[in-house]
Amino acid sequence: MSTYKVTFTPNEPWFFGNEKGFRFPWQNIGNTYRNSYFIKSEPIPSQSTILGALRYILIPEKKPLKEYTNDDIKRNIDYIGESSFNVDSKDIQRFGKIKTVSPIFIIKTGKTLIPAPMDHKAKKIDESEDRNNKKEYEQYDAFSRYEAVDTPEGKKLYTADYDSKTGVFDGFVELETGNIHCQSDVLRSEVRVGNRRFSDDSGFFKKEYYCFKTKKGEAHASFAVIAEIDVDDLDKKTYTVALGQGKSTFAVKFEKTISDSKDFINNVTLFLNKHHKNFSCDDKVAFHYCLSDIFVQVDPYNKSQFAVVMTRDHRSFMTKERGQIAKGQNLHRLLRAGSVVISRDDAKWASQFENKNAEQIGYNKIISIELSNGGKVNE
């Protein structure tokens, strides 16, 4: 068994769309879900996209389906498993030589960037400031002043630090330094315009792609994961794969590392503890941070005292025997990475989201820390 840091460096802008797709006025689709001539990529690939790339790379027999023998098929299953990831599977899925995959992070200028916890005190930008340096050197500063309020569901916590004019922060934080980067500091968008062939003016459409924003002389930024793979000869090898709806190419590099995913999780836990020393509460509570996207199968606000979350959608895509790609039947709503929840009970809130299939490929990773006696909640 070998542990690898696997980096995915884009060669061009990407488009990760999942449920997003074009619908034109004349189409009788029966459902107006996200009908639009303008669609926007997700900024970060999903964990299942990363798994799909790893499975593709590890396929030992790559050739047309009609040329496969039974022995070829058995060998492929031994390396990558029998089926694509399916969160709805009742059985524990196995992905051959791929044992575990960590949540996705970003490597930029040698720093590790993770989704910033959404309890950051985002500040409004002063128009007189140098906008080229906005937020770049601000430190992650968590909400700390909470008040207890009565609700129909009992007492809940309300943060006095939240500025409704500023809103919720959406970006990244450097794990090593705590420096905050808003999304526009790390990524830039590129809008592509087109017209559907053989259609009239209503076939016009726009697609917004993403790419990393890097300064002149900087190394290219990458998505990355820590993966445990039962193959020993991948070190320093680089492959090219096509990902997303636009089939954008990425250079995928494997590097053996002594730091496994547990070390990564421990570093994130230390980071959260360090930045929540000023938390003020009258009772012992638990702070929960979503390091990855979380499949939600129960009410996420059950047993919670405070929550600041964003969501995204996910639908599994399955590869059939003849190679056709088919959509799964169930559309899932996920808590986005970076979401934050505070609960009265540490174990019970996070345990609601245990899912072995999701966890082994990097989904549903919630880091919980206990917070208490930092002060008094104002009753």
Q: For every one of its 379 residues, what pLDDT tens digit does the chain have, with 9 covering 90 and above?
A: 899 999 999 999 999 976 555 444 444 444 444 455 678 889 999 999 999 999 999 998 788 777 888 898 899 899 999 888 888 888 889 999 999 999 999 999 999 999 999 999 887 544 445 555 554 448 999 998 888 888 887 888 888 888 888 888 999 999 999 999 999 999 999 888 766 555 555 566 788 899 999 888 888 999 999 999 999 999 999 999 999 887 899 999 999 999 889 999 999 999 999 988 887 766 778 899 999 999 988 888 888 899 999 988 877 666 655 555 666 667 788 999 999 999 987 778 898 899 999 999 999 999 999 876 543 433 3
Assigned token pair, 377: 């909640």
Please report how the helices 47-58 and 70-80 are oriented relative to each other, as an axis angle in degrees rounded to 10: 140
What local confidence, expressed as pLDDT, does residue 320 receive?
A: 58
Q: How far is CA 125 from CA 119, 129, 159, 160, 182, in A?
A: 18, 7, 21, 20, 12
- CA-nearest of 289, 277, 292 to 349 is 289
Assigned token pair, 367: 């880091």
Q: Indicate the residue type of 181.
A: H
Strands, sheet with 311-319, edge to edge from the N-terminal-most edge strand? 294-295, 325-335, 311-319
Q: How far is CA 66 from CA 73, 84, 188, 289, in A?
A: 11, 20, 42, 47
Which residues in 220-310 belong to E strands, given as ranges?
A: 222-229, 238-243, 248-256, 285-290, 294-295, 304-308
Element housing 204 (H / E)? strand 204-212
Residues 183 and 221 sit within 8 Å (Cβ to Cβ): no
Separation CA 229–CA 239 (nearest Å) = 16
Longest dimension (CA), the chain: 72
Separation CA 125–CA 138 (nearest Å) = 12
Q: Around 296, how many Cα atoms within 13 Å sit in the side-chain half-sphere? A: 21
Residues 117 and 369 sit within 8 Å (Cβ to Cβ): no
What local confidence, expressed as pLDDT, does residue 370 receive?
A: 85
Residues 207 and 191 sit within 8 Å (Cβ to Cβ): yes
What local confidence, expressed as pLDDT, does residue 216 receive?
A: 84
For the chain, how are helix, strand and coil distributed in percent, rounded to 5? 15, 35, 45
Q: Around 177, how many Cα atoms within 13 Å sit in the side-chain half-sphere? A: 15
Separation CA 78–CA 31 (nearest Å) = 40
